Amino acid sequence: MLRRRALAAAASGLLATATFTLAGTPAAAGPAPAPAPAPVASTVQTPPGMLAAMQRDLGLTAAEARTRLANEAAAAPVEKNLRRALGADFAGSWTSGDTARLVVATTDRADVRRITAAGAEAKLVAHGLSALDAAKSALDKAGPTAAVAPLRYVDVRTNSVVVETADPAAARAYVARSGADRALVRVVKSDVRPRALADLRGGDPYYINRSGRCSIGFPITRGSQSGFVTAGHCGTAGASVTDAAGSSIGSFQGSSFPGNDYAWVAAGSSWTPRPWVKGPSGNVTVSGSTLAAVGASVCRSGSTTGWHCGTIQQHNTSVTYPEGTITGVSRTTVCAEPGDSGGSYISGSQAQGVTSGGSGNCSSGGETYFQPVNEILQAYGLTLVTDGGTTPPPGGSCSSAQQRYDGSLTSGGVAVQPGGSYYQSTTSGTHTGCLAGPSGADFDLYLQKWNGSTWATVAQGTTPAADETLTYNGTAGYYRYQVHAYSGSGAYTLGLSRP
């Protein structure tokens, strides 16, 4: 078993926004806004999907989104120069409207001409940004509780400091104690409940009862509950789980050790399960949980030694630890050390299992054993999080198949199985295929045989449903399956049996 003891502590939070009209602000005394400058030709490289997301979330056309991005890029150096030129008069800046027109606030009417000459809109206000920042700093130093003042910010649009709270009376008392200039602070009643947000990722560390350390195996869901699978020897049901910063993740819900070495942890709502394993230089995406063959390459991610690879030596291995015997694990040539327990094994994009134990280390070499992930999913009725959404646990309509292959498709896509290749049948007999597709989609299944020059379809399931079955009595030869997403997208499981 590979578990390590350690401790750490930290904290984090989120922000939101609120606005109101500040009475008495002398903005109306300024001149009429200057005409908006012509849109700047965009040289901004837009990441894939950004324009579509802006159109969806901001209600823009594609042209408006491009104009907005161009104007925002052009505004940055203008704002920087004006901030420096206005000095203590500077009262903040923001962009306005769908085209992102730059607005710069000042406490001195003499600055208006300079601002408009630079192509920005001027706004005359009562308080400089330095005064607002000082008031907020005083609030921060007063040490508010999450219940009294969970959210505090400088709102440059209204030239004030805002405190959002569910208890305005308590918040006003807190403002008075803080020593902040109360003329600059506005208390706003709000139901906002900021919380830390984080991702669950295979290979990252977690701590049991704020003591022993293990590693996340694979993020999962169980209905609406998120969490992750890990090694059973890491903790028993009810044990608390925290991250490296000391923030609560959740608790163990089920654990089996010895006999097996698996467990699952339910996480709080601030933790998002991701289809990732921590790799050598970024995230490795999980697409399914097809068990790799003996001899296949496999890599492990753990919180002590990071990323190491080797090969699968045997499946269905029994190993006896001082605590008892574990059966049904897979033996590998991958090294590991204490603290790596529970971490992810992955072959290509396919989840394999979680680290149980081993011998040796990653300096002199060794071997390790993993508990297959599909057994854990089936034992607790969990669903693996993959890049296609979620992969149902084994035991569904395709559970009796000899082999299972998981994947995901977007509408119109086609995948070849097993593993993008084919299989050989050396005898005549019955081939059966079972496809379990995503709810609401129309997925089709085709069995093809190599006829010496091309692949010919010999059986098919093409009903207007997500699930398909087919049967074919054929002679020896080379066969493959095609999964076609006729309509709809999502994860699928293909089960196949052959002579």
Rama region for 453: left / alpha / beta (φ>0; ψ in -120 to 50; rest): alpha
Q: What is the distance between the alpha carbons of residues 496 and 492, in angstroms, rounded to a whole number?
A: 13
**Per the domain annotation, does 326 fall within a domain?**
no
**Per the domain annotation, does 17 fall within a domain?**
no
**Per the domain annotation, does 419 fall within a domain?**
yes
**Per the domain annotation, does 462 fall within a domain?**
yes
**Per the domain annotation, does 316 fall within a domain?**
no
In total, the chain counts a number of residues equal to 499
Bridge partners of 417?
481
Number of domains in the chain: 3
Distances (CA, A) of 415 to 20, 286, 421: 54, 16, 10
| 92/119 same-domain check | yes
Q: Are 482 and 469 in contact (CB under 8 A)?
A: no
Q: Would you say residue 1 has pLDDT above 70? A: no
Q: What is the pLDDT of residues 141-184, one digit of tens each?
A: 887 666 788 878 889 999 999 988 888 999 899 999 999 999 99
Q: Do you find a cis peptide bond into 219, omega within 30 degrees of 0?
A: no
- Domain harbouring 139, CATH code: 3.30.300.50
**Per the domain annotation, does 117 fall within a domain?**
yes
DSSP sequence for 461-487: E--SSS-EEEEEEE-SEEEEEEEEEEE
**Per the domain annotation, does 382 fall within a domain?**
no
Q: What is the pLDDT of residues 453-479, one digit of tens each?
A: 889 998 888 877 788 888 888 899 999
3-state SS class at 10: coil
Which of 91, 124, 157 is the last residue in one of the domains? 124
| 101/147 same-domain check | no
Q: In what helix (H) or strand (E) does residue 490 lie, and over which residues does it extend?
A: strand 490-497
**pLDDT band per the 50, 70, 90 thresholds, residue 448:** very high
Burial class (CB in 10 A: 0-12, 13-18, 19+), 355: buried
Written as six digits, the tokens of 136 are 């907020």
Place of tokens 């087919």: 470
Which is nearest to 435 in space by CA: 379, 481, 372?
481
The predicted structure's pLDDT at residue 479: 93
| 106/160 same-domain check | no
Going across the sheet that includes 403-409, the strands are 403-409, 490-497, 429-436, 468-474
Q: What is the distance between the alpha carbons of residues 291 and 148, in angstroms, rounded to a whole number?
A: 52
Q: Are 93 and 156 in contact (CB under 8 A)?
A: yes
Q: What is the distance between the alpha carbons of residues 449 and 431, in angstroms, rounded to a whole number?
A: 11
Q: Would you say residue 242 has pLDDT above 90? A: yes
Which of 156, 172, 189 is the last residue in one of the domains? 189
Q: How much is the pTM?
A: 0.50
Which is nearest to 240 in space by CA: 268, 269, 280, 273?
268
Distances (CA, A) of 75 to 81, 173, 232: 10, 40, 55
Structural domain boundaries, residue 97: 26-124
Instruction: Of 59-68, 151-160, 255-264, give the range with the top mean pLDDT.
Output: 255-264
Q: What is the mean pLDDT of residues 475-487?
A: 92
Q: What is the pLDDT of residues 343-388, one digit of tens each?
A: 999 988 889 999 999 988 999 888 899 999 988 988 898 899 988 7
Q: Do you find a cis peptide bond into 322, omega within 30 degrees of 0?
A: no
The predicted structure's pLDDT at residue 10: 29
- Domain harbouring 400, CATH code: 2.60.120.380
The residues that are catalytic are 233, 261, 341
**pLDDT band per the 50, 70, 90 thresholds, residue 53:** low
Which of 91, 108, 124 is the last residue in one of the domains? 124
DSSP sequence for 144-168: --TTT-SEEEEETTTTEEEEEES-H
| 136/80 same-domain check | no
DSSP sequence for 292-333: PPTT-EEEEEETTTEEEEEEEEEEEEEEEETTEEEEEEEEES
Measured at the alpha carbon of residue 163, what is the angle toward residues 160 and 168, in degrees to the nearest 5?
A: 125
**pLDDT band per the 50, 70, 90 thresholds, residue 124:** very high
Q: What is the distance between the alpha carbons of residues 234 and 232, in angstroms, rounded to a whole number?
A: 5
